[in-house]
Structure 1
């Protein structure tokens, strides 16, 4: 049963984060059970777990829906990220190893190269960006930060933020990554914290502005096919 519940959790979570299950979409237990190849009981357990993480709204006997975050909730989330990851960057500046610094440099450079392609790169950028930010949290050597940061990092993925950045904004984001590497190389915690906070709050502005345009109906239906791209 534990394995079945873990499998259901992984499949549903991946569907939510990838945007396959849209914001506000109802998640039917029977359909998910068929999709995953398990009974409804492990699906229900997975939905409860995703509810605790804030990715799904689940009410027993009433069903589950993918969380549709309000603008205010997203503002709060990005503020929390800026605080937590800024602190993590400050710690990492004095605790990061040479190998970890080399890894961050490689990721930042690969992201810059991928971004220059200009189209069909959002998924790859999302993967590299997650690795970059998680590596910094790991380098902080603070075991509690990892759990806390994961909880607030996952939600923006629902909004497919790398598809909401303009080419100019995407370049600015990659410049932040490179500057973070330089701050870590210099061992300057204050610098690293400042850049990380600015980096995440800039992403917040981009995402919120894009969502407002979505609500106003100013974006075409195939917007997600374009690289009007994301980060942080």
Structure 2
């Protein structure tokens, strides 16, 4: 028998999707009363949901400004991607000699499934793309068998940034990203660590360009629509 979903769980699920899907933009104020009306619940489930989302890094809560959708500065994003680009290509290169034919087939399947669900068009499903992408990258890290670098990389990757990254892609950048996964598999088949490292470097550089461009746009948009009361509260 399926357990019924509580009001707090439903509020959490719906708010998470509104944020990750872009309906609530970075920096947007999250008033409990307005959200309760929008979601059809009381303020208590909304308050619980906001606390959970703050723990996930999707919401920022401060005494003076209340709850808002989390934002990342350009400098913070660049720091995340700088760390990734120093670690993930190395791990990808280490994975090459450890990848068995079965591992390569598994990665190949993930890469082509990502092309199917992530390719721009009416059948695109970014929600399905996210776990496939995570599985692909996690498999490479596992194959690298380098726990020290893997731990450092895990600390550098923020799931909300990854999910928003896909939402921010234009069609050309997304196609390029999906093609990188296929090419990394080709480098594994060729037993070429240098090729694999180079493609992963390009892959992360592509993601970085997308996110920095989106952050600059969001910053400009936020400044142009800033509520005067924000300045008084600061």
Q: Please indicate the TM-score interval, normalised by the length of the shorter structure.
A: 0.5 to 0.7
Cα deviation, residue 26, structure 1: 3.0
* Aligned counterpart, 1:100: 103
Q: Which residue of 2 aligns with 1:84?
A: 87
CA deviation profile, 1:69-100 (whole Å, cap 9, x unmatched): 12222222222222232232123223334333
Alignment of 1:51-200 (within 5 A): 54-59=57-62, 63-115=66-118, 118-123=121-126, 124-143=128-147, 145=150, 148-149=153-154, 152-157=157-162, 159-167=164-172, 169-200=173-204
5+ long unaligned stretches in structure 1: 218-232
Is the 8 Å Cα contact of residues 81 and 153 (structure 1) preserved in structure 2?
Answer: no
- Indicate yes or no: 2:25 matched with 1:22: yes
Match in the other structure for 1:201:
205
Q: Which has the larger radius of gyration?
A: 2
Q: Which deviations, in whole Å up to 9, do the C-alpha atoms of 1:17-46 show, x marking residues without a partner?
A: 333442112345675797599757854652
C-alpha change, 1:86 and 1:22, in structure 2 (3 Å) is: same
Task: Tell me if 1:49 matches 2:52.
Answer: no
> CA contact under 8 A between 1:17 and 1:157: conserved in structure 2?
no
TM-score (norm 1): 0.67
| Cα distance in 2 between the residues matched to 1:151 and 1:8 | 29
The alignment yields a C-alpha RMSD, in angstroms, of: 3.9
**Unaligned stretches of 5+ residues in structure 2:** 1-5, 222-234
C-alpha change, 1:158 and 1:107, in structure 2 (3 Å) is: closer
